[in-house]
Amino acid sequence: AAAAAAAMEPERECRVLSIQSHVVRGYVGNKAATFPLQVLGFEVDTVNSVQFSNHTGYAHWKGQVLNSDELHELYEGLKLNNVNQYDYVLTGYTRDTSFLAMVVDIVQELKQQNSNLVYVCDPVMGDKWNGEGSMYVPKDLLPVYRDKVVPVADIITPNQFEAELLTGRKIHTEKEALEVMDMLHAMGPETVVITSSDLQGPLGNDYLIALGSHRRTKADGTKVTQRIRVESPKVDAVFVGTGDLFAAMLLAWTHKHPNNLKVACEKTVSAMQHVLQRTIRSAKAQAGGNKPSSAQLELRMVQSKKDIENPDIIVKAAVL
């Protein structure tokens, strides 16, 4: 009966401030993060760092960009009404150093009000193609991420190339990846997930390896680190918005499983697989034998509502 009563009691409202891109059509940035978070029971307040017609992988895009003063103005409005209380802040792709610096100011102020606030940062800077890494944001963002953003972040989700950029260390083996994650912990974040890498895992070439590390300090001051490896089947297509979806779901599942990174990552990666498999099936059907277009490859987000809410665990994590 007590359990039933507990189940009836609503969870305390959990509120996320998500500062990301917005697209009219499709699913990247806030469009990729908001729906899953809402489905999983979070209140989401969105600041749209840009408003574009669609993501920039299409032949054409149009729209507006929010500058750091405008970001500050929106935040001031929340503050004046005393509704700037948050449990989480979530950020992703940003191109502008002053905008990023303003985000840091806002996070620091929110943390002064709520010392338990968790900042989830996807430090989007670049990626590897055919083994060669390249940045797709201006180079001057790297020192801002490294020296200002990562030190105030609690959870970061870099890919391998971004983890290498932040630490100045190259990763060739799993052991080196674990060392890089330790370096990232030392910079501030308690949870580090390298979302994709070109490492070879036990399951072989058709699988993508993600690595996670969660370091917490016990009551007696000793540190405990849990490290995991997740291998998920590669999907042969270029999707946009997957990193944004990943970071949002990781936020949700680490909230629900605070000291179990293994379960949080299994649920996150399994849900990703469901969404990507549904998307590629649908895109191929629409393309009818041709290469699917950007529009056809937009994530099937709404259609995946049940998988996001309660993912069937199809990807298991190994504890290292």
Q: Which domains does the chain have, with CATH numbers?
A: 15-319 (3.40.1190.20)
Q: Is the pLDDT of residue 311 over 60?
A: yes
Cα angle value 169/213/125 (rounded, 5°): 50
pLDDT of 9 > 60? The answer is no
Query: DSSP string covering 260-319, please?
Result: -HHHHHHHHHHHHHHHHHHHHHHHHHHHTTSPPPTTTTS---GGGHHHHHS----SPEEE
10, pLDDT greater than 60: no
Q: What is the pLDDT of residues 228-274, one digit of tens each?
A: 999 999 998 999 999 999 999 999 999 999 999 999 999 999 999 99
* pLDDT for the residue numbered 130: 82
Structure tokens at 100: 């990023």
Q: Residues 87, 122, 154, 244: which is the catalytic one?
A: 244
Whether 5 shows a pLDDT value over 60: the answer reads no
- Asked if 46 and 30 touch (Cβ cutoff 8 Å), the reply is yes
pLDDT at 236: 87
Scored b (16 or more CB within 10 A) or e, 88-108 reads bbbbbbbebbebbebbbebbe
Please determine, for residue 303, whether its predicted confidence score (pLDDT) is greater than 70. Answer: yes
CA 4 to chain centre: 33
What's the pLDDT score for residue 263? 98
Active site residue 244: yes
On average, the pLDDT of the chain sits at 95
pLDDT tens string 108-159: 999 999 999 999 999 999 999 888 899 999 999 999 999 999 999 999 999 9
Separation of alpha carbons 251 and 119, rounded Å = 9
> Given this model, what pLDDT does residue 3 score?
59
Positive or negative torsion for Cα 23, 28, 34, 39:
positive
Instruction: Read off the pLDDT of each residue in 41-56 and give the average, rounded to a whole number.
Output: 98
Q: For residue 131, what pLDDT is reported?
A: 81
Determine the pLDDT at residue 7: 58
- Per-residue pLDDT of 188-204, as tens digits, reads 999 999 999 999 989 99
Task: Give per-residue pLDDT as tens, 90-116.
Answer: 999 999 999 999 999 999 999 999 999
Confidence of residue 12 (pLDDT cuts 50, 70, 90): confident
Q: Could you tell me if 135 and 224 are in contact, meaning their C-beta atoms sit under 8 angstroms apart?
A: no
- Measured distance CA(264)–CA(251) in Å, rounded: 9
At residue 218, the pLDDT reads 87
